[in-house]
Chains A and B, each alone.
Chain A
Amino acid sequence: EVQLVESGGGLVQPGRSLKLSCAASGFTFSNYYMAWVRQAPTKGLEWVASITNSGGSTYYRDSVKGRFTISRDNAKSTLYLQMDSLRSEDTATYYCTPPFGGAYWGQGTLVTVSS
């Protein structure tokens, strides 16, 4: 059974940092391009960042470029999102997904940026 378990969310003040993790199981993680997608409260879905299967290439939406870093550890089947200089508009539930590799979704982890 495929599982994606996101963790690391919480309440954080503006300007601070947070690191999200996504533990994958049930599929060959190292074979797949992975992405983080977020959903602000009561809003739609928004792509945040992607990484190739080897980790050699990364991609970001403009609003997080220079502040967020996506990475992966294929030996641990885990995806990460380091979020620095957080802003109130980053408040959302963050999901990890292999968009072209089965498109599974985890339960998400809620990040709330507020003073």
Chain B
Amino acid sequence: DVVMTQTPVSLSLAIGQPASISCKSSQSLLGTSGKTFLNWILQRPGQSPKRLIYQVSKLYSEVPDRFSGSGSETEFTLKISRVEAEDLGVYYCWQGTHFPLTFGSGTKLEIK
């Protein structure tokens, strides 16, 4: 199985500060289709996960543009340009290129 490694485990940031979360995969996530199925989701406290980004850098329509994703092959990054209060929760990367789907262990974002 593809192992997804996220760092840091947790972040404590003040509102307005930038955030950066790394996700590394044990194998290249570039598929035979030429697409890279690396995605990000956010789970706020007590809630179910919510979609954020798909195929490395494409934001879902409802996601604010302060979020961005980048990377290729085995190294990926989620960035928040200016953290807001509603951004607190656990961020997970997950891959869908290789069977089975696998998830990172999560990065907890706390607001100072």
Chain A residues in the interface with B (C-beta under 8 A)? 35, 37, 44-47, 50, 59, 61, 95, 99-100, 102-108
Contacts and interface: CB of A to CB of B under 8 A. Distances in A.
Interface in B40-98: 41, 48-51, 54, 60, 92, 94, 96
A104 B101 contact: no
Interface residues of B, number: 20
B103 A108 contact: no
Contacts of B51: 102-105
B105 interface: yes
Given A47-B101, A103-B41, 12 more contacts: A35-B101, A44-B104, A45-B49, A45-B103, A50-B101, A59-B100, A99-B39, A102-B51, A103-B51, A104-B51, A105-B50, A105-B51
Contacts of A37: 101, 103
B96 A100 contact: yes
Given A44-B105, A47-B100, A103 B39 contact: yes
A46 B39 CA distance: 15
